[in-house]
Amino acid sequence: MRHSLITALLGTVPAATITTTGFSLPALPNLIAGPKTPSRPFPLSAARHPSRICFVDPEAPDAGPALISAARDCNNGGTIVLLPETTYTIASPTDLTFLRSIDILILGTIVFSDDVEYWQARAFGYAYQDSHLFWRFGGRDVNIYGLGIGVIDGLGQTWWTAKRRNETVYRPHLFGTDGLYGGSISGLNMKNSPMWFNVIMNSRDILITDINIWNEVTNSSSPPANTDGWDTYRSTNIVIQNSTINNYDDCVSFKPNSTDIIVQNLQCNGSHGISVGSLGQYQGQYDIVEDVYVYNISMSNASDGARIKIWPGVPPNTTGSSSGGGAGYVRNITYELFYNMNNDWAIELTQCYFASSLEACNAYPAVLQIEDIVFKDFYGTTSKKHDPKVGTLVCSDPSVCKNIRAENIVVSPPSAATAQWICTNMDEELLDVNCVVA
pLDDT at 228: 98
pLDDT value for 364: 86
Distance from C-alpha of 425 to C-alpha of 406, rounded to nearest angstrom:
15
Whether residue 226 is found in the same domain as residue 255: no
Q: What is the pLDDT along the chain (438 residues), one digit of tens a residue?
A: 333 344 444 443 333 333 444 678 999 999 999 999 999 999 999 999 999 999 999 999 999 999 999 999 999 999 999 999 999 999 999 999 999 999 999 999 999 999 999 999 999 999 999 999 999 999 999 999 999 999 999 999 999 999 999 999 999 999 999 999 999 999 999 999 999 999 999 999 999 999 999 999 999 999 999 999 999 999 999 999 999 999 999 999 999 999 999 999 999 999 999 999 999 999 989 999 999 999 999 999 999 999 999 999 888 877 766 789 999 999 999 999 999 999 999 999 999 898 877 788 888 889 899 999 999 999 999 999 999 999 999 998 888 999 999 999 999 999 999 999 999 999 999 999 999 976
Can you give the pLDDT at residue 22? 64
According to the model, what pLDDT value does residue 355 have?
82
d(CA 183, CA 230): 17
State whether 228 and 254 are in the same domain: no
**DSSP states of 233-270 as a string?**
ESEEEEEEEEEEEE-SS-SEEE-TTEEEEEEEEEEEES
Residue 231 among the catalytic residues: no
Residue after which a domain boundary falls, among 232, 259, 275 = 232
Q: Are 194 and 172 in contact (CB under 8 A)?
A: yes
Which pLDDT belongs to residue 10?
Answer: 45
CB 20 within 8 A of CB 98: no
Residue 214 lies in a domain: yes
My answer on whether 335 and 393 are in the same domain is yes
In the prediction, which pLDDT does 316 show? 81
CB atoms within 10 A of CB 415: 11
3-state secondary structure of 157: helix
Residues 126 and 208 in one domain: yes
* Of 132, 141, 173, 272, catalytic: 272
201 and 261 together in one domain: no
Residues with Cβ within 8 Å of 264's Cβ and at least 6 positions away in sequence, in order, are: 34, 35, 36, 239, 240, 241, 242, 293, 294, 295, 296, 297
The answer to whether residues 212 and 321 belong to one domain is: no
- State the pLDDT at residue 361: 83
pLDDT at res. 54: 97
- Domain identity same for 70 and 212: yes
Pairing of strands 230-233, 252-254: parallel
Q: Indicate which residue of 178, 205, 231, 249 is catalytic.
A: 249
Range of the domain at 422: 250-438
Give the residue from 189, 204, 232 where a domain finishes. Answer: 232
What sign for the dihedral angle of Cα 168, 203, 177, 263? positive
Q: 3-state class of 344 per DSSP?
A: coil
Number of domains within the chain: 2
Same domain, 137 and 225: yes
49 is catalytic: no
CATH at residue 84: 2.160.20.10
